[in-house]
Amino acid sequence: MTDRWRSSLEKICIPIGALVAALALFGLFCALAGANPFGVYYSIYRAAFGSWSSFQNTLIQASPLMLSALCTALPARLGLVIIGNEGALVMGGLAAVAGGLTLSGAGAPVLGVQLGMALAGMAAGGIWIAIVGALRHYRAVNETISSLLMNYIAIAFLNHMVNGPMKDPSSLNKPSSYPIPEIDMLGTLPGSRVHYGLVLGLIACGLAYFLIQRTTFGFAARTAGGNVRAARVAGLPVGKLTLAICFLGGACAGLAGMVEVAAVHGRANESLNANYGYGGVLVAFIARHNPLAASLVALLLGGILASGGILQRSHGLPDATVMVFQGIVFLSVLYSDSLYGKLPIFKPRPARPRPPVATATAV
């Protein structure tokens, strides 16, 4: 086994090991709550991947997760830990609704309205996280804390808008914005309930991977993320890179918000704030900030999220149990990060001592 293989194996085995450990801990939790852990595992599997119908639910959950994961994964290549996905998603959704209502009011064609919603969502989410990047670069404000706090601002802003300026008077129980006309909503893939958001998510993950690995922009970002002093010696514009990559990450989360309003809810309300942001952080960490891996991990986590209802119905566990599971997964993944390079089986083997040669006498 070569060292290269060993290192790729390490990158696969450790996250899987973390998931298995999280499953075991979660089983313990279910047992304490009085449910049969193996029954729960089976239910989760069935609800997530058991049938075409349930798998469609998983896919629907996975698409915003993929997009929002990029909001953490892209800046991570620059060495930034950003967890403002929720805020960028909310701002993106809000801007998409505002844009969509304006354009359809002006009589724009369907495709134009949809494109306008996507651009508005991306711009809003992008600017939201670019603010975090600017604070980081110009004022050395910790990007993790500021992005977290920006989430609260975004959520409060959403509540204000749907309770005030954007409120549809007919939405009584759940204050919401005016709905986007049915005709302008994102459609579903032929023969399924899965909306086009999944396609957008997959394309975004693929593009993000390509951007980071194959373009000069990605090379510069990886350099600055790996060693900012070396990047400065090479004359790379670290500030511009920070702003650009934060904007791109935020734009992806903003697009997730647009997908949620334009394909699922049809209007902006507090349902937007459905933890896809934090789920995205989790996806990015499990995927070790690799955009391609993020698309697969988002499927897995989407499946877990989709199983919330069934746990309540068939095991008498509270609906929030999946949140407990999500939390356990997060903790064990963060812990597993400390294991890279520590487990002896993945350590590069020292070069084998060469067979003694006649000339090798003195050492």
| Residues near other proteins, by CB under 8 A | 4, 214-220, 222-223, 226-227, 229-230, 232-237
From the list 326, 245, 337, 242, the residue with the least C-alpha distance to 285 is 337
- Strand-pair partners of 195: 188
CA distance 149 to 143: 10
- Cα(83)–Cα(145) distance, rounded to whole angstroms? 8
Nearer to other proteins, 38 or 210 (CB): 210
Q: Give 77's DSSP letter.
A: T
Bridge partners (DSSP) listed for residue 188: 195
**Cβ distance to other proteins smaller for residue 221 or 301:** 221
Going by the DSSP 8-state scheme, the letter that residue 353 receives in this structure is P
> If phi over 0 gives left and psi between -120 and 50 gives alpha, with beta otherwise, what is residue 34?
left
**Closest approach of other proteins to the CB of residue 342, in Å:** 16
Phi-psi region at 140: left, alpha or beta (left = phi > 0; alpha = psi -120 to 50): left
Q: Is 81 or 153 the residue whose CB approaches other proteins more closely?
A: 81
Minimum Å gap between C-beta 231 and other proteins is 8
Pick between residue 220 and residue 264 the one whose CB is nearest to other proteins. 220
What minimum distance in Å lies between the beta carbon of 322 and other proteins? 35
C-beta of 44 vs 238, nearer to other proteins: 238
Both structure tokens of 196: 């086009």
Q: Which is nearer to other proteins, 126 or 218 (CB)?
A: 218
Q: Which of 33, 100, 21 is nearest to 320 (CA)?
A: 33
Smallest gap from residue 274 Cβ to other proteins (A): 36
Report the nearest approach of other proteins to the CB of residue 363 (Å).
Answer: 11
| C-alpha dihedral sign at 177, 161, 57, 205 | positive
Nearer to other proteins, 109 or 226 (CB): 226
Residue closer to other proteins (CB basis): 107 or 235 = 235
Under 8 Å between Cβ of 36 and 250? no
Q: What's the min distance (Å) between Cβ of 356 and other proteins?
A: 22
- Give the nearest distance from C-beta 207 to other proteins in angstroms: 13
Q: Which two tokens stand for residue 48?
A: 């997530």
Q: What is the spatial distance between Cα 95 and Cα 239, in angstroms, rounded to a whole number?
A: 26
A 10 A CB-CB count for 27 gives 16
Alpha-carbon Rg of the chain, whole angstroms?
23
Instruction: Give the nearest distance from C-beta 225 to other proteins in angstroms.
Output: 8
Q: What is the DSSP code (8-state) at residue 350?
A: P
Q: Shortest gap between Cβ of 235 and other proteins (angstroms)?
A: 3
Neighbouring residues of 296: CB distance < 8 A, sequence distance ≥ 6: 287
Q: Give the nearer residue to other proteins in terms of CB position, either 111 or 362.
A: 362
